[in-house]
Amino acid sequence: MNPLFLTVTLALSSFAISPREDVATERVDLIEVNHFYDDQGRLVFDQLLFYDWSHDDGRYQLRAWRMVKNNAQLPQRNWQSGGYVAIWQDGDLLRKISAPTIRESWTQYDPELTEREFLPKERRRELRSPKTLVAKAK
């Protein structure tokens, strides 16, 4: 059995067995897996980019990004509900992000930096923080 599939399956089954308040579950419109390479064609880093569709601008707007620290963090197909899901430990928080669409890119520029030209970092709708989750639970 694929070790990545096993990791994701175990993580998903833990939701059903014992729901945790410290699981941040969110939905975005698009998840991008980006592989950033330097000028010599060497891999510098992999990152996940999370986008929401902007009807006003007619384009995907970057919401947030995270570095890929291990392969278990990569989005997997969700065969039950369709779409894709990425699950990983984000600090003290277990994060689960789902999206109906995924894309993969290989670039020699950082899409997150480029997106700042369209929507400044300060105006992005970030992923929920642990503080937001605690406030919502009260």
Q: Given its phi and psi angles, is residue 58 left (phi above 0), alpha (psi -120 to 50 degrees) or beta?
A: left
Q: How far apart are CA 77 and CA 22, in angstroms?
A: 23
Q: In the prediction, which pLDDT does 126 show?
A: 87
CB distance 62 to 31 below 8 Å: no
> What band does 15 get if pLDDT is binned at 50, 70 and 90?
very low
pLDDT by residue (tens digit) across 85-105? 999 998 888 999 999 999 999
Enter the pTM of the model: 0.77
pLDDT band per the 50, 70, 90 thresholds, residue 21: low
What percent of the chain lies above the pLDDT cut of 70?
78
Cα distance between residue 83 and residue 78, in whole Å: 6
Mean pLDDT for the stretch of residues 11-22? 51
Backbone φ and ψ for 37, nearest 5 degrees, come out as: -115, 150
